Amino acid sequence: MKPAPFDYVAPDTIEDACKHLTEAGGGATVLAGGQTLMPLLALRLSQPFILVDINRIAALKGVSRTDGGTRVGPMTRQNEIIANSTLAAALPLLVTATRHVGHWQTRNRGTIGGSIALGEPAAELPATAIALGARVEARSARGTREIAAADLYIGPYSTALQPDELITAIRFPEWPAGTLPLFREVAQRPGDFALVGLTGAVTVEDGRISRAGIAWFGMGPTPVRASQLEKALLGQRVAGLDVQALAELAIAETAPFDDHHATAEYRRTVGRRIFARTVSEQLQPRNAT
């Protein structure tokens, strides 16, 4: 660990943190759990003038039920999310997805806000936030605004957040009982970033799909919402789903790329299959042959 020189502040309040971000005029980097930032600093790929460490801000931690949903503080550690009984009941998909983030040791430090703010296109949590229809609360000295997770990502590691903005909450809407999680990740080793990943929630009422939120990770320069699929699923009878045809629609909006781990065509091919496999297992367990 031998980063380039930087200044360091560890404010106790959101207001102070925002003040530092404003004063830095774009030269600040926020330190949350540090599971990506620390290696980047060590490699000198990240060379901020000032590091704003938000680990001491109590207001950024914790999970609470709100009107119409669940609020998750961005500094909630990933292992805390996995162990949280409120989330287990309200957002089982979020818990499942978080289990796939890194390793047990990294999840002790890694935070949900850090992962969502980083915007790694192959990471589990940004795509899951999109699938669940989360909104991100961003605060700056200029005020507070909410950004839909689906609008947050504009490129690899690039978000709609302004340099002076800090994520202060991730707000998940209510998903009714009877919502089934769809999650499958294909990674070369457990804990790796995905070659292909599917994350989603589908609500089934009286045998018909009444609500669907589905997104991909590792399938493009950003997490990709499968909005055509979501529309097509609405109102469909679960028992009669044409899974193969839907699989084609599921990947219609993805834009995967080649790298030395896998090609775009591999990602599309396997994406279709894990969609079909996951939907069959979760939505049609009795129909499975």
Partner 1 sequence: MSAPQAGTPSYIGRRMPRAEDTRLLTGRGVFVDDIALPGMLHVAFARSPIARGRIRSIDTSAARELPGVHAVLTARDLARFNIDLISFFLVSPSIRIPPLAEDRVLYVGDPVAMIIAQDRYLAEDAAGLVTVDYEEEDPVVTIADARRGSLVHAGSESNVAAASGAEEPDEDLEALLTSAPCLVRHTIRHQRIAQSPMETRGVVVAAHGESELTVYISCQSPQMAARYLSMAFGIPQTGIRVISKDVGGSFGLKVQPWREEIAVVAAGRLLARPLKWIEDRHENLSASNLAREQEIALRIAFDEAGSILGSHVDYDLNNGAYPHGPDSNLAAMMFFWAAHRMPAFGFRARGWYTNTPGLGAYRGPWAIESLARETALDIAARRLGIDPIELRRRNLITKADQPLTTPLGIRLEDITPAECLDLLLQKVDVPAFRAEQAAARAEGRYLGLGITTYIEPTAGSAGISVLSTDVAQLRIEPTGKVSAVLSTHSQGHGTQTTMAQVIAERLGVAFEDVTVYEDDSSRGGFGAGASGSRQAVAGGGASIKAADLLVDKVRRIAAHLLGADPAHVRIQSGRIHVDGAGEKTCSLRELAEIAYGEPERLPAGMEAGLEAQYRYRPPPVTFTSAAHACIVEVDPDTGFVKIRRWVCSEDCGVMINPAVVEGQIAGGVAQAIGTVLLEEAGFDARGNPIAVTYKDYLLPAISDVPDFEYVHASTPSQAEGGFRGVGEGGCIIGPPTLVNAIADALSPFGELAPLELPLTPARILEVIEKRPLSGASPASSPQAGQPSPPSVPHSPPPPVEKPTGTRPTIDGLWKMVLATPMGLQQFTARLAANADLLTGTLQSEMGSQDFTGTIEGNALRWDLKVSKPMPLTLKYDVRIEGDRLTGKVKMGLFGTAKLTGERVPE
Q: Give Cα 66 to chain centroid, integer Å.
A: 20
Using CB under 8 A as the binding rule, whether residue 260 contacts partner 1 is answered as yes
* Contacting range for partner 1; rule: CB under 8 A; set: 152-160, 173-181, 208-216, 266-274: 266-274
> Which three-class secondary structure string do you get for 7-38?
EEECCCCHHHHHHHHHHHCCCEEEECCCCCHH
Q: Does 193 bind partner 1 (CB under 8 A)?
A: yes
Q: Is 273 in the site for partner 1 (CB under 8 A)?
A: yes
CB of 103 to partner 1, least distance (A): 9
- What the block records as the tokens of 79 is 């292992």
- What residues have CB less than 8 Å from 202, skipping those under 6 apart? 179, 180, 182, 209, 211, 212, 213, 214, 233, 282, 283
Helices 243-250 & 264-283 angle (0-180, nearest 10): 140
Report how many helices (DSSP H) and strands (DSSP E) the chain contains, helices first.
12, 14
To partner 1, the closest distance from the beta carbon of 218 in angstroms equals 13
Which of residues 92 and 221 has its CB atom nearest to partner 1 in the complex? Answer: 221
Burial bucket for residue 109 (CB in 10 Å: 0-12, 13-18, 19+): middle
Per-residue binding string, partner 1, 9-48, x by CB under 8 A, is ------------------------------x--xxx----
Q: Which is nearer to partner 1, 45 or 177 (CB)?
A: 45
d(CA 126, CA 154): 12
Our finding on whether 5 is near partner 1 (CB under 8 A) is yes
Stretch of 55-63, 105-113, 182-190, 207-215 contacting partner 1, by CB under 8 A:
182-190
C-beta neighbour count of 71 within 10 angstroms: 15
Binding test (CB under 8 A) with partner 1, winner from 67, 143, 189, 285: 189
Position among 55, 203, 263, 282 found at the interface with partner 1 (CB under 8 A): 263
- Asked if 190 interacts with partner 1 (CB under 8 A), we say yes
Helix (H) or strand (E) holding 233: helix 227-233
Determine if 286 is a binding residue for partner 1 (CB under 8 A): no
Q: How far is the CB of 46 from partner 1 (least distance, A)?
A: 13
Alpha-carbon span 24 to 11, nearest angstrom? 14
The least distance separating partner 1 from the CB of residue 263, rounded to whole angstroms, comes to 4
User: Which residue in 27, 261, 280, 282 binds partner 1 (CB under 8 A)?
Assistant: 261
- Binding residues for partner 1, per CB under 8 A? 2-5, 39, 42-44, 186, 188-193, 195, 258, 260-263, 265-266, 269-270, 273-274, 277
